[in-house]
Amino acid sequence: MDVTRIAAFSSHNNGGNPAGVAMFETLPDAMEMQKIAAEIGYSETAFLEPLAEGWRIRYFAPEQEVAFCGHATIASAAELGRRYGAGSYLLHLNDAQISVEAFKSKTGEWSASLNSPPTWSTLVSFDEFKTVLENFRITPADMDARFPLAVAGAGARHLMIGLADHEQLKTMSYNFDIIKNIMIERDLTTLNLFYCESDTVFHSRNPFAFGGVYEDPATGAAAAALGGYLRDVSFIKKETAITVHQGVDMGSPSLLQVRIDKDKGQSVTVSGETRVIE
C-alpha cells in the first residue's frame, strides 16, 4: 500500500485538513478500504487507481464511504502533480466525473483546484430541522435573513446555516450522538455553519458527525455547495471569487478559494494550497 498524508487548504504552510491519499494498481474491495481509512484515522482517505483516461477515486471516512470529499480531492490532485507533473487530471467518482488541476504555488508547495460536480440547493423550513438547530442553540433570530435555510450539494449533501453573529460561530458546540444520528438519517455529509464578513469573505465551521468526526478544519465539498447555494439565493449574480476561512477556531487555519460563475447549477471551482505531513 502506497499512502501519502497531505493537509489540503493549508494557510502559509500551516493548518489545513489532513487526508490520506492511497494509490493502488487495482483498488481493494470496499471492506478493505474502510479498514485502511479507519487505521489512517483522518476524516477522509482517498483511494485511487489508474484508468485508461484519468483515475478512479473513492473516499472513505473512518466509519463509512463518502460520495465526494473536496479536501481529499485537492490532496489527491497535489499528489498526482508531485508524482506525474503539473497539469489536469480526470477523476471518476462513484456517480460523477470531475477534473482537477495540479500546480506549484508561489511558495513552491503543490496547490490544486477542482471543478465540482453540478451544484443544486433546496430551501427547507426551520421546523424541518428544528432538532438540529436547537441542539446548536440556534433560533430563527440568530440566522442571517439573507441566507435562507437550505440543503445544498455539489457531489454531497450539506445543510446551509447562515449565522448573523460571528461570535456564535466561534463558540459552536453540539451533542455528537444526537447530530450524528440525524445526519445519517437525512444523508447530510456536513452541516455548514457560516458567517458572511463581506460580499467575498466567509467564515465556516463544518460538523462531520456523519463520518464519525466532530468537525472538519477544511471542507472543499461544502465550500463548493456553498458557492452554488449563494448563486441560487441570488447573493451572487455574476462571476465572483470568494474566500472561505475555516479551521481557525480548531487551531488549524485553512483557506479555501471558490470561483463561481453566474449560471445556476454549473460546476464551481475550489482551490487551495497543500502541505505534505511527514
Residues of the chain with CATH 3.10.310.10: 2-115, 120-268
* Contact by Cβ (8 Å): 275, 71: no
Question: Each residue of 67-106: pLDDT tens digit?
Answer: 999 999 999 999 999 999 999 999 999 988 999 999 998 8
E-strand ranges in the chain read 2-10, 17-23, 45-50, 55-60, 65-66, 87-92, 97-104, 110-115, 120-123, 150-153, 157-163, 190-198, 201-208, 213-216, 240-246, 254-260, 269-276
Asked if 102 and 86 count as a contact pair (C-beta separation under 8 A), the reply is yes
What are the cell numbers at 32?
A: 478493505
Give per-residue pLDDT as tens, 201-241: 999 999 999 989 999 999 999 999 999 999 999 999 999 99
C-alpha cell of residue 76 = 489527491
Whether residue 150 contacts residue 229, with contact meaning beta carbons closer than 8 Å, is answered with yes
* Pairwise CA distance, residues 168 & 170, whole Å: 5
Question: Buried b vs exposed e over 99-108: b needs ≥16 C-beta within 10 Å?
Answer: ebbbeebeee
pLDDT single digits (tens) 116-163: 999 999 999 999 999 999 999 999 999 999 999 999 999 999 999 999
- The fold adopted by the segment(s) 2-115 is Diaminopimelate Epimerase; Chain A, domain 1 (3.10.310)
Handedness of CA 94, 64, 250, 166 (dihedral sign): positive
pLDDT tier at 261, thresholds 50, 70, 90: very high
192 φψ region: left (φ > 0), alpha (ψ -120 to 50), beta (else): beta
Q: Was domain 120-268 assigned CATH 3.30.465.10?
A: no
Q: Which helix (H) or strand (E) holds 186?
A: helix 176-186
